[in-house]
């Protein structure tokens, strides 16, 4: 015996109920009722942040420091000509220990010995303490 057919026999032919109190719900609204629920808001972001890797800042040895100092001196003597240089520098991460290294190529505009920064013609400023390498045509005397 097939129970399903007998159980719904009385209502199978009836028309769809239309509420007098509530507006008809669109398919999009009906589907939204079944969308996933995030009980822990921000949990996925926390997991992603914890898994994001950062680099440690390299500590240059004495020879590397001396080389950087020589290049900064050469840059200081030639800054008036806005030489094009390429700088590798460290950017500290705002959310966790460490950071990342980036490379910038541009025309050096100003070397500020008091604040220990290099300014570029595009307005960017890099701290000398974050620089791990400087290169450019004006340094060819070292190569």
| pLDDT score, position 86 | 96
Please give the pLDDT value at position 143.
Answer: 58
CB count within 10 Å of CB 90 equals 19
pLDDT, residue 5, reads 59
| Predicted structure pTM score | 0.64
**Looking at residue 4, what is its pLDDT?**
55
Structure token pair of residue 100 = 């990342």
For residue 18, being part of any structural domain is answered with no
- State how far the Cα of 116 lies from the Cα of 111, in Å rounded to an integer: 7
Q: Is residue 109 part of a domain?
A: yes
Domain membership of residue 86 (yes or no) is yes
Q: How does pLDDT run along the chain (143 residues), one tens digit per residue? A: 455 557 778 888 888 888 888 888 888 888 887 777 666 777 777 777 777 787 888 888 999 999 999 999 999 999 999 999 999 999 998 888 888 999 999 999 999 989 999 999 999 999 999 999 999 999 887 65
- Look at residue 87 and tell me if it is in a domain: yes
Exposure b/e, 104-136, CB count within 10 A at least 16 = b: eebebbebeeeeebbbbeeeeebebebbebbbb
Assess if residue 75 is contained within a domain: yes
Q: What is the domain extent for residue 74?
A: 62-142
- Count the domains in the chain: 1
Answer yes or no: is 6 within a domain: no
The CATH number of residue 72's host domain is 2.30.30
Phi, psi of 48 (to 5 degrees): -65, -40
**What confidence score (pLDDT) does residue 1 get?**
45
In a domain, 36, yes or no: no
Radius of gyration of the chain (CA): 33
Q: What is the pLDDT of residue 50?
A: 73
Kindly state whether residue 88 falls inside one of the protein's structural domains.
Answer: yes
């Amino acid at each position: 015996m097939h129970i399903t057919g007998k159980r719904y026999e009385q209502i199978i032919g009836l028309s769809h109920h239309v509420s007098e109190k509530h507006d008809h719900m669109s398919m999009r609204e009906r589907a939204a009722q079944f969308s996933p629920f995030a009980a822990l808001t921000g949990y996925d972001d926390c997991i992603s942040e914890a898994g994001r890797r950062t680099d440690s800042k390299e500590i240059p040895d004495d020879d590397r420091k001396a080389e950087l100092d020589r290049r900064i001196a050469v840059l200081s003597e030639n800054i008036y000509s806005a030489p094009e240089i390429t700088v590798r520098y460290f950017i500290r991460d705002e959310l966790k220990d460490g950071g990342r290294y980036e490379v910038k190529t541009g025309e050096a505009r100003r070397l500020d010995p008091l604040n220990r920064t290099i300014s570029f013609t595009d307005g960017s400023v890099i701290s000398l303490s974050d620089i791990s390498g400087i290169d450019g045509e004006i340094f060819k005397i070292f190569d």
